[in-house]
Amino acid sequence: MGEQSFDPATNYAHRALTLFAKYGDAEALVAVDGRRYTYAELHAEVVAMAAALWRHGVRPGAAIGVLARNPAESVFLQLAAHLLGCRTAWIANNAPDRFRRGFLDLAEVDFFVYDAVILPEMGAELAALAQDRPVLCFGPGGVGPDLNADRATELPFDPADVTDEPSSLFQTGGTTGSPKLVHHRHGFFAALHLLSEFYLASGAPQLRHLLVAGTWHVSAQTAVFMTLFSGGTAFLHDGLEYPLFYETVARERINSTLLAPPLLYVLLDDPKSADADFSSLVTLTVSGAAASPARLTQAIARFGPVIRIVYGMSESPFITAMANLDHDPDHPERLASCGVPYGDVRVQIRDEDNQVLPAGAVGEVWVSGSLLMAGYWGMPELTEQTLVDGWLRTGDVGRLDEHGYLYLLDRVKDMIVTGLSSTNVFCRPVEDALAGHPQVRAAAVIGVPHELEGEAVYAYVVPAAGATVTGDELRAHAAAELNAMWAPQQIEFIEAFPLTESGKVDKKALRERYLAGVQEA
């Protein structure tokens, strides 16, 4: 995982500055607070941020932990740090508290930067754990100096002298309950330039992309940088808020945005959306979880053929895509598909022996391409298991049809995608939290269908002898240990778990039990 000698002539961030200078007075970025930046101003902000980092001791090869939501400074910092040949490590601010507490050590960072305006308490808590690491802030009043206070107009270093490779770590959950850090090296960000060139060559309209996902996530940064590298305008929102979303789409003539399926469902179910003006939309990307074909049918009726399905993950943000979704009388089943391989991505379905399966066969989805991660930071064994001969094992189960369309059927890993923002919840931490209650003998968690949130966390609990604890009390216990999103929505008490031949809890049998109960009801 160590950084290697790097040719500064290929630095994607330096190339970005050249593009920004070329785009000049065109509008580049509209921040959460409404401030608007031209490309010339964006260029100046990146230079100022790089100079501020240098002034406070950041040097090429350093690692910077970042806690922020969606300020414009996140964009400035990422480019500035990468111009310096640094490694950035982005903290998921919606993760359970205990997943953040060990982040700075896990990511092996040298500096900690946080948004003192939006996340003052969370940032101060992590700053207290930073030990001897310098702390820097976006905005005044934080534990460390304000990076925005430095307004240098020139770089205090020559980018041509920086030979350290820029890269980034993005936090995700793990099936073991420990946070994983997905490592994307410079090649990933350089590939975004190439994808942007392909977009421009396609003759598609200039992007006016509205971002509602947090810039701490790799998919959000992918969308922002592809917009900026192609000369479009990126609009930053801090989460999804109706009717602000409708107003912005209409007023700013937004032609591109991305929503997770649950957020799309909320939009479809909101009576106020019926009168909103979505006529400017060219692409409404639906990603983050599987979308219901029935709800996609409603979306097509509401918005027209502008829906684009994208399948990706932190380890590879773009895997497959299906644009301009519409009713295909010859292939109605494709509403349940996630499309065909995107860009240079290759997709294979393999069996348990890693042998490639023919079209129609069900197995694990394996992918390769330029957007693959380099590995999991500090987890060589997991990296070796996940990246095999240049291919990524996704942990998803699916099949390819004879036309190359991918259909996802299940997950190998026990991951539950739930909530309006399609949060990834893993079973083990929830099971551990429930089992930590003195009146609980054991707990098993599965994901069950939920009309609005895609999936819901459902727990089976074996109570201790003489237990009087209630489901509500256990939910509160789990919420206190993790958070409300991770706490099970329903808890069913059970005398004993069904077991597999190897003695493990048979979750397939538990899912069948749940479905049987639903049918009886």
Over 60: is that where the pLDDT of 503 sits? Answer: no
CATH 3.40.50.300 fits 38-185, yes or no: no
Greater confidence, 405 or 503? Answer: 405
Q: Where in the chain is the domain with CATH 3.30.300.30?
A: 415-520
Report the range out of 13-22, 93-102, 235-244, 285-294 with the highest average pLDDT: 13-22
Enumerate residues 6+ apart whose C-beta is below 8 A from 279.
none
Three-state DSSP at 8 gives helix
pLDDT score, position 174: 44
Tens of pLDDT, residues 154-207:
999 999 999 999 999 998 744 344 668 999 999 999 999 999 999 999 999 999
What's the topology of domain 240-411?
Rossmann fold (3.40.50)
User: Tokens 């304000």 sit at which residue?
Assistant: 146
This prediction's pTM: 0.82
Q: What is the mean pLDDT of residues 37-54?
A: 98
Closest C-alpha to 441, from 469, 478, 476 = 469
**In 122-149, which positions are buried (b, 16+ CB within 10 angstroms) versus exposed (e)?**
bbebbbeebeebbbbbbbeebbbbbbbe
CA 376 to mean position of chain CA atoms: 15
Enumerate residues 6+ apart whose C-beta is below 8 A from 415.
173, 175, 395, 424, 425, 426, 427, 447
Q: How would residue 218 be classed by pLDDT, with cut points 50, 70 and 90?
A: very high
The encoded tokens of residue 51 equal 């100079």
Percentage of the chain modeled with pLDDT above 70 = 95
Please, are residues 206 and 180 in contact by the beta-carbon 8 Å criterion?
no
Backbone angles phi, psi at 131, to 5 degrees: 60, -120
Q: What is the mean pLDDT of residues 41-59?
A: 98
User: Tokens 């937004």 sit at which residue?
Assistant: 254
Closest C-alpha to 415, from 399, 386, 434, 395 = 395
The encoded tokens of residue 289 equal 């979880």
DSSP string over 158-203 = -GGG--BPPEEEEEE--TTSS-EEEEE-HHHHHHHHHHHHHHHHTT
Greater confidence, 272 or 500? Answer: 272
User: Tokens 């502008």 sit at which residue?
Assistant: 306
Tens of pLDDT, residues 404-449:
999 987 666 666 777 777 777 777 778 878 988 989 988 889 999 8
Rounded CA separation 277/298 (Å):
17
CB atoms within 10 A of CB 441: 15
Q: What is the 3-state secondary structure (H, E, C) of 99-120?
A: HHHCHHHHCCCCEEEEECCCCH
Over 70: is that where the pLDDT of 118 sits? Answer: yes
Q: What is the mean pLDDT of residues 316-326?
A: 94
Rounded CA separation 78/70 (Å):
12
| Architecture field, domain 415-520 | 2-Layer Sandwich (3.30)
Average pLDDT, the chain: 91
Please, are residues 300 and 307 in contact by the beta-carbon 8 Å criterion?
yes
Q: How would residue 134 be classed by pLDDT, with cut points 50, 70 and 90?
A: very high
pLDDT score, position 177: 45
Least confident interval from 279-283, 305-309, 344-348, 514-518: 514-518
CB atoms within 10 A of CB 108: 15
Beta strands at 233-236 and 208-211: parallel, antiparallel or unpaired: parallel
The encoded tokens of residue 504 equal 């493990």
C-alpha dist (Å) from residue 230 to 202, 328, 343, 350, 499 = 12, 31, 16, 36, 54
Rounded CA separation 514/510 (Å):
6
Closest C-alpha to 431, from 448, 418, 414, 417 = 414
Please, are residues 116 and 140 in contact by the beta-carbon 8 Å criterion?
yes
Rounded CA separation 38/392 (Å):
38
